[in-house]
Chains A and B, each alone.
Chain A
Amino acid sequence: MALNYYHIFKKVKEARKLVIKGITVAGSGHPGGSFSMAEILGCMYFKFLNYDPKNPLWDDRDRLVLSKGHASPGLFSNLAVAGFFAKSEMETLRKFGSKLQGHPDFKCPGVEFCGGSLGLGLSFSIGMALAARIDGKNHHIYTIIGDGESDEGQVWEAAMTAPKYKVDNLTVFLDRNFIQQDDYTERVMPLDEELVGDDISEMWKNAARWKVGDKWRSFGWNVLEIDGHRIEQISKAVNSALQTKGTPSIIISRTIKGKSVEHMEDNPKWHGVAPNSQMSPIIDLELDCQFLISPSIIAGDMMNLENEVKRASLARADFIHLDVMDGVFVPNKTFDHEKIKQLRPITPIPFDTHLMITEPVKHVKNYVDAGSDIITVHAEVCNESSFGEIHDILRSNSVSVGLAINPDTDLPQWSEKFIPDLDQLIIMSVIPGKSGQKYIESTHEKTQRIAKFLSEQKFDGLIEADGGVDLTNVESCFFDGARVFVGGSAIIGQKDVRSTIIEFRKKLMHARRKLLINKAHSLGGTDLVKKWIDLHEVGKKKTELLQIAQEAGFT
């Protein structure tokens, strides 16, 4: 089964927006810890958990215990998106008479544990897991604990108990965001090593300092360590935990507090504060502007594609872009599904397969079976019926659905009915067929026009810019409306792929900051621009934002 990447990605975004909505209306709540576990919950509720929102107490459901209960908005928003109650109820968060209490409570359908007092959830989960074993039930218990919460001695009482009873129907996530209420965890009570200096990113960079996994390992747990914002890593770890018998598993998930809202990220202040309602439309836009980098490996050594996948993977690419050319639809030939199958074990990073082949409907299943996570086919070689068939094959295999158009084609009429359900639209900015071509300038105007049209058509996927994208034009592509960026010679063709991707991200970050400052200005003039910039306290963000504002004449 493929990742169902876009499905989860969209749900995570929707849930994050609901968190902002709820907390802003309530005037209090915990955004930081809700966002650090957003991808984990997204994978749980929209990939792994078995549940029935119409029958929340169904006996055989999987259970998710949120032990770090203060992150309840994160849980509630997922329950709302999953259909346990109306999304509009998020606005009743913390209100008198609401089922959405300040901390998770049985008043809310779908909540499995009344959290709030920290350190209790793991013991409770062990009780649940043992009960399931006594009853011969096959459901699984998932528990999310916090790193600040791990100061509680009871966590370690439970940590000793679960391996003793071999509760392998229990999987724990440690939301390792490095921040607790007072300060960075490594200053309040180190879980890894004491933090020297002020730079929290030091903790991230230096894996030699990560000790918390050893603690759990020494207690007898199956320990998996991942980047807790990567859907593919979460997914891989959960699958591995589910296959581990005889001992419980813990997934140490390194996360960023406040992830996806730049001014909240890594700032201890946003542990438990509500954003000002003036800011929520800007934050909403920021959440809509998450971007992804998809290096195209054919720009590298065609004789050693394995190595190109490794390079992209080590460089922390978001996707691996696989250009399949058949020599018919395009003049060149690259590789087919057999090659993809060989490349698949190298990395869990989503395979973004771009089929430049004729009659894709005949072959698409091969590319599904080879391990693609996203498959994009060309509009030029599809019609309503064949694309409908492709769409169904992809959906039933949890593969995300993409449609591509060449520079000289526009979105065909027949595709419109698919737009609301489409995950990805590739707008080619070179004539497909080979790597290293120059970006066709008219694509900017075309992308802007299509982006506007798509948003009117309730498109909630992403536009992918493909062809000639490099550091000089990636920002303009972002402004056009593209959010996924394929890089061939500009990324894979470079010697240091990792630094190049970092450069791409910096450019895109700059573009996004610009967009948000424009938004702030349009909503509240220079006054709001100033307030927005002032929120960005951590690191050097503020300096860059001030510069952008100055250049725009907003100061």
Chain B
Amino acid sequence: MTEFADMRTVYGETLLKLGDENSNIVVVGADTTDSLKTKPFGKKFPNRFFNVGIAEANLVTMAAGLANEGKIPFASTYAAFLPGRCVDQIRNAIAYPSRNGKNGLNVKMVVSHGGLSVGPDGGSHQQIEDIAIMRVIPNIKVFVPADTVSVEKLTRLFTQVYGPCYMRLARSKTPVIHSKEQEFQMGKGIVLRDGSDCTIVACGITVSIALEAADSLKQEGISCRVIDMFSIKPIDSEILEKAARETGGIVTCEEHNVMAGFGSAVTETISETYPVLVKRIGVKDQFGESARDGEIPLLLEKHGITSIHISNAVKSIRSQTR
């Protein structure tokens, strides 16, 4: 039986622990602190918790000011309102300021409600452009974790590594994929299944969909490598080059516009190291729409983000390259 867990709850609990260990950690929210589960941090550390109301530009820039003075601010709200609304503030107040070899200010932007799986709130809230926005801004590191283990480890890692970081959490509970012992490094992907016929690289909730596809392809005698690429920037070009060389084709999966997003990042890397055919599973340059919780799989299906679509992409690569 697969265990499901809530990313936001784990994020909030991890912050609480980290707050005890490191007094420089501060949390800034924008009227979504209940939803992002940062409220308990505010209860425990009222002097290090700031709720600025529905004012994301202010949220992001105040976090930059705090970081400038040596604090480690976690700025959190929904994906649609942070990268979506504040690209100027993120670029100019967080990413740009650099001195003494420190590139950008040490703000940790952790958002929830990324991608189509936001569900009922509809297209306005389903941010499918954030990976693209964030990865083109110099100095910012971009992460899309697949499960709660990843969230805990990355949140902790954020407090240990200097620099502006972005992490996108899912709204819904996600299956636990990684073991508690799994190590996470920035810029290193994790091979979840080895295989030799094709490689599926995924991030966020699509990792578990990719695993499903690999399992079903295995039944058909196709051996797929599956990589959790939670670190989109920096990207693990080594693991990608190896996959290209050893398996001959790559399918990327993301809950994001396929343009300029994760699939694009993989393609850019592969095309410069070991060009093979790459097929991108993701949103095809269109907006999402409302879907109730039980209907989210239908919404994903409409946009071609299912294990069947992944399997078909794998097969198509194999037929084209043979």
Question: In the bound complex, do residue A123 and residue B47 qualify as a contact, i.e. CB atoms below 8 Å apart?
Answer: no
* Cβ contacts A398-426/B at 8 Å (1 or 0 each): 00000000000000000000000000000
Binding-face segment, B58-66, B183-191, B226-234, B285-293: B58-66
Indicate whether A123 sits within 8 Å of B58 (C-beta atoms), given known contacts A114-B92, A114-B97: yes
A129 to B68, CA, bound (A): 11
Does A157 sit at the interface, judged by CB under 8 A? yes
Question: In the bound complex, do residue B58 and residue A157 qualify as a contact, i.e. CB atoms below 8 Å apart?
Answer: yes
Q: Which of A123, A132, A133 has the most CB of B within 10 A?
A: A123
- Chain A neighbourhood of B64, CB < 8 A: 123-124, 127
Residue of A107, A113, A114, A161 near B52 (CB, 8 A) is: A161
CB-CB nearest in chain A for B89: A120
Question: In the bound complex, do residue B69 and residue A131 qualify as a contact, i.e. CB atoms below 8 Å apart?
Answer: yes
Interface residues of A in 121-163 (CB under 8 A from B): 123-135, 153-154, 157-158, 160-161
* Cβ contacts B67-79/A at 8 Å (1 or 0 each): 1111101000000
A136 to B293, CA, bound (A): 47
CB-CB nearest in chain B for A69: B92
Question: In the bound complex, do residue A127 and residue B55 qualify as a contact, i.e. CB atoms below 8 Å apart?
Answer: no
- Chain B neighbourhood of A161, CB < 8 A: 52-53, 55, 58, 62
Interface residues on chain B, size class:
20 to 34
Indicate whether A127 sits within 8 Å of B97 (C-beta atoms), given known contacts A134-B71, A157-B52: no
- Chain A neighbourhood of B97, CB < 8 A: 105-106, 113-114
Q: Which of A112, A120, A158, A160 has the most CB of B within 10 A?
A: A120
Residue of B50, B68, B93 near A165 (CB, 8 A) is: B50
A125 to B99, CA, bound (A): 18
Residue of B67, B88, B98, B100 near A127 (CB, 8 A) is: B67
A131 to B48, CA, bound (A): 9
Residue of B53, B65, B89, B93 near A160 (CB, 8 A) is: B53
A57 to B58, CA, bound (A): 25
A233 to chain B, nearest CB (A): 28
Question: In the bound complex, do residue B63 and residue A157 qualify as a contact, i.e. CB atoms below 8 Å apart?
Answer: no
Question: In the bound complex, do residue B69 and residue A120 qualify as a contact, i.e. CB atoms below 8 Å apart?
Answer: no
A116 to chain B, nearest CB (A): 6
Does B57 sit at the interface, judged by CB under 8 A? yes
Chain A facing B: main interface SS? helix
Interface residues of A in 87-133 (CB under 8 A from B): 105-107, 112-114, 116-117, 119-120, 123-133
- Chain A neighbourhood of B55, CB < 8 A: 154, 157, 160-161
A105 to B93, CA, bound (A): 11
Residue of A106, A116, A127, A157 near B65 (CB, 8 A) is: A127
Indicate whether A106 sits within 8 Å of B99 (C-beta atoms), given known contacts A120-B93, A124-B68, A127-B68: yes
A57 to B97, CA, bound (A): 14
- Chain B neighbourhood of A112, CB < 8 A: 68
- Chain B neighbourhood of A158, CB < 8 A: 58, 61-62
* Cβ contacts B149-176/A at 8 Å (1 or 0 each): 0000000000000000000000000000
- Chain A neighbourhood of B71, CB < 8 A: 131, 134
* Cβ contacts A156-179/B at 8 Å (1 or 0 each): 011011000100000000000000
Does B274 sit at the interface, judged by CB under 8 A? no
A160 to B55, CA, bound (A): 10
Question: In the bound complex, do residue B62 and residue A135 qualify as a contact, i.e. CB atoms below 8 Å apart?
Answer: no
- Chain B neighbourhood of A124, CB < 8 A: 61-62, 64-65, 68, 93
Does B26 sit at the interface, judged by CB under 8 A? yes
- Chain B neighbourhood of A105, CB < 8 A: 97
A124 to B99, CA, bound (A): 17
- Chain B neighbourhood of A129, CB < 8 A: 65
B64 to chain A, nearest CB (A): 6
- Chain A neighbourhood of B92, CB < 8 A: 114, 116-117, 120
A124 to chain B, nearest CB (A): 4
B53 to chain A, nearest CB (A): 7
CB-CB nearest in chain B for A117: B92
Question: In the bound complex, do residue B69 and residue A132 qualify as a contact, i.e. CB atoms below 8 Å apart?
Answer: yes
- Chain B neighbourhood of A116, CB < 8 A: 92
A125 to B69, CA, bound (A): 10
Indicate whether A130 sits within 8 Å of B50 (C-beta atoms), given known contacts A117-B88, A123-B57, A123-B58: yes
A222 to chain B, nearest CB (A): 20
A127 to B67, CA, bound (A): 8
- Chain B neighbourhood of A119, CB < 8 A: 57
A128 to B63, CA, bound (A): 9
Indicate whether A157 sits within 8 Å of B57 (C-beta atoms), given known contacts A116-B92, A127-B62, A127-B63: yes
Residue of B61, B69, B89, B93 near A135 (CB, 8 A) is: B69
Residue of A106, A127, A153 near B61 (CB, 8 A) is: A127
- Chain A neighbourhood of B63, CB < 8 A: 127
* Cβ contacts A243-262/B at 8 Å (1 or 0 each): 00000000000000000000
Residue of A113, A131, A154, A160 near B66 (CB, 8 A) is: A131
Question: In the bound complex, do residue B57 and residue A127 qualify as a contact, i.e. CB atoms below 8 Å apart?
Answer: no
A106 to B101, CA, bound (A): 11
- Chain A neighbourhood of B100, CB < 8 A: 57
B302 to chain A, nearest CB (A): 36
Indicate whether A154 sits within 8 Å of B57 (C-beta atoms), given known contacts A117-B88, A135-B69, A161-B52: yes
* Cβ contacts B234-273/A at 8 Å (1 or 0 each): 0000000000000000000000000000000000000000
Interface residues of A in 494-514 (CB under 8 A from B): none
CB-CB nearest in chain A for B63: A127
- Chain B neighbourhood of A128, CB < 8 A: 65-66, 68-69
- Chain A neighbourhood of B99, CB < 8 A: 106-107
Q: List 24 A-B contacts (CB under 8 A).
A: A57-B100, A106-B97, A106-B98, A113-B68, A116-B92, A117-B89, A117-B91, A117-B92, A117-B93, A120-B61, A123-B57, A123-B65, A124-B93, A127-B68, A127-B69, A130-B26, A130-B65, A130-B66, A131-B65, A132-B69, A134-B47, A154-B57, A154-B89, A157-B52
**A123-B65, A131-B68, A157-B52 known, 5 other contacts, Cβ within 8 Å:** A127-B68, A130-B62, A130-B65, A153-B57, A157-B58
Which 5 residue pairs of A and B lie closest in terms of their CB atoms, listed nearest first? A127-B65, A131-B69, A123-B61, A157-B55, A157-B58
